[in-house]
Structure 1
Amino acid sequence: MHAAGALLWRLAGGHLEVLLVHRPGYDDWSWPKGKLHKHETLPAAAVREVREETGVEAVLGRPLPTVRYVLGGGTPKVCWYWAATPAAGIDHSTAVPTTPEEVDEARWVEAVQALEMLTRRADRAPLMALLELHADGTLATWPVLLVRHGRARRRSAWQGGEDTRPLTATGQNQARSLVPILSAYGAARILTSPWARCALTVTPYSEAAGVPVAVLEELTEDGARHAPDRARAVLESVLSLRQPATVVCTHRPVLPVALAALAARAPDPVAARLPAADPYLRTGEVLIAHIGRPVRRNPAKPGRKKPAVVAAELYRGRS
């Protein structure tokens, strides 16, 4: 059985606080979490469960350790967790559960106090990771969401220009099913190739979230073929400044350029998780690269460092 949830965190009075929930049916303190709905992705499930159990709209950050345990009857359960923050612009000073029969209290507590309050020992693992990231100053991150367009009509079957080749019905489904994934990470900016199959892939999210789309010729196949340095510069500009979560939608031939820019900012363990072989991403697939401040192990050398890719995840829109 698979479940998903999040460790919501905030800073209050200089202290790290997290949001715990009390479940009356089990009389325990735990993290907001729950089982996936049919066809639901892990990130979408995590955000939905947080909303249902605490009333808080969450924005996911970097992934945390999963928790594995055995339910009564011997059924194994795996719960996937993320660090998460309340959505900006909404008052979440208090949390009000929306399903009181399942969760009757949601309480912000200091993180060190949460270690004592958690009923299940295994639930401490993601919290310990959260505390370590906070101590390193690397807990706050922002994502770059690299998307390959949904499945398009075959070149051989399309009489129009390459820039007008549209999505198939499968590609349209993939585009629609990307909406809850991009929403889970708070995507607030969209950069895309102007070619139809890319523009159509980001349209459902743009319309659902009210996020404007910026089209860039550098992200087209022709643009990357004739001027790869310009395509890479687009990625570098996104990575260099802390800014709203950004979607970058492009084509398979552009992906090696984009991934090289990400790998150059990633420590070896993270770089090793980035796609390295053609086709790099499948149609309708999204790579979430979590960008943050690199760990500074030697305070005696305070030099300025560029933001780094500190974690990466892969998800695909449903066909």
Structure 2
Amino acid sequence: MTATAVYAAGGVVWRLVEGKVRVLMVHRTKYRDITLPKGKVDPGETLAETAVREIREETGIRVALGAPVGVSRYHLPKSREKIVHYWAAEATDAAVRASSFVPNREIAGLEWASVKKARKRLSYPVDVEILDAFAALLDQGVLRTFPLIVLRHAKAVSRDDWGGPDAQRPLAPRGKKQSQAIVGPLLAFGVRRIVSSPAERCIRTVTPLSAALGRRIDQTALISQDAWEDGASDARAVVGERVRARRPVVLCSHGPVLPDILSELAMATGTLPGSYLGSASALETAAFSVAHLSVDHPGSGIVSIETHEPRV
């Protein structure tokens, strides 16, 4: 992020109505326009957290983020640039029913419409461009996705400062802060299951997430560094099981193991290998890559992949 730009995030919120996709537009009170739900990043937030929060604040609907659908850029007064990141976000029937939205000083009303109608109704060309990227996912039959998130453990005490077994190396003070900071961003993508290497630094990285979800951590040595160094790791088995499950999951592992996990993910989904795999696996501590996979056709390839750097 640059200091001079204004950053915001939002989404193309969608639902199925009698088998047909409808997207959500907001009618803003002050500007008397029709746009996609979005808002500025609050201090300390990631873009993903902003998108989820702003969608809920403007529409009353709680969502988890799907595949990214683009970035809009335009200039504000005094030559400042506004940069808005968008994701597709499904509104379940339960989430729509639970919405407590009422017209207010910011949002006068909500409108569900077909993609074709929304193109005509939206007030700004930059919003139409985002809608077109969303429509491309719809046309390809990969709109409904689930995330498989590959997470590198948080910062651990260095080997030089640790006299015990490597698998028992604890988190450093910075790592403890990172483990707390990643909870919000991971929840933004709807993570419901945690699979981790049994190494202490991995388990402690996802312990705050486990507490937030109220779910246990599934430990497997098949993605541990010790097993990898001994030639006994099996990322293929772990990745294959998670792809078949078609449920949001985070896999917490180690730097040397991550390339194997991403390579097996590409193979399991029929995705052509490329340099993007190296970029997605070359993670700093507490960074993660989100691979969005089609729920209906997981073997059709990775729909998109995005990497999120640590904020601590």
Same fold, judged at TM 0.5 (above): yes
Quote the Cα distance in structure 1 between the aligned partners of 2:107 and 2:16.
24
What code does the residue aligned with 2:209 have? Y
After superposition, the Cα gap between the structure-2 partners of 1:91 and 1:46, relative to the gap in structure 1 and judged at 3 Å, is closer
Alpha-carbon distance between aligned partners in 1 of 2:203 and 2:218, rounded to the nearest angstrom: 10
Q: How do residues 152-301 of structure 1 correspond to structure 2 at under 5 angstroms?
A: 152-227=156-231, 230-239=234-243, 241-264=244-267, 265=269, 267-268=271-272, 271-276=274-279, 280-292=282-294
Report the Cα distance in structure 1 between the residues aligned to 2:117 and 2:99, rounded to whole angstroms: 18
Of 287, 303, 306, the residue aligned with 1:313 is: 306
Cα deviation digits, residues 97-148 of structure 1 (max 9, x gap): 4782211212222222111111112210111121221122111111101000
Aligned equivalent of 1:80: 85
Q: Which runs of 5+ in 1 are unaligned?
A: 296-304
Equivalences for residues 93-112 of structure 1 within 5 A: 93=97, 95-97=99-101, 100-112=104-116
Q: What does residue range 1-150 of structure 1 map to in structure 2 within 5 Å?
A: 1-86=6-91, 90-93=94-97, 95-97=99-101, 100-150=104-154
Contact residue 16 and residue 110 of structure 1 kept, 8 A: yes
Task: Give the Cα separation in 2 of the matches to 1:49 and 1:271.
Answer: 34
CA displacement, residues 188-218 of structure 1 (integer Å, 9 cap, x when unaligned): 1110011110000001111012222100011
Counterparts of 2:247 and 2:114 in 1: how far apart (Å)? 27
Q: Is the 8 A contact 2:246 2:295 kept in 1?
A: no
Partner of 1:171, secondary structure, is helix
Looking at structure 2, the residues matched to 149 and 99 of structure 1 have their Cα atoms a distance apart, in angstroms, of 43
1:298 is aligned to none
Between 1:258-267 and 1:73-82, the stretch displaced more is 258-267
**Distance change in 2, residues 1:174/1:117 (3 Å):** same
Number of equivalenced pairs: 306
Q: Indicate if the aligned counterparts of 1:149 and 1:249 stay in contact, CA closer than 8 A.
A: yes
Aligned counterparts of 2:190 and 2:109: Cα–Cα separation in 1: 26
Deviation at 1:76, TM superposition (A): 1.4
Identity %: 34
User: Taking structure 1 as reference, are residues 14 and 193 closer, same or farther at Cα in structure 2, changes over 3 Å only?
Assistant: same
DSSP-derived class of the 1:190 partner: strand
Distance of aligned partners of 1:272 and 1:111 in 2 relative to their CA distance in 1, 3 Å threshold: same
| Residue identity matched to 1:166 | P
Deviation at residue 2 of structure 1 after TM alignment: 1.1
Contact 2:235 2:264 in 1 (8 A): no
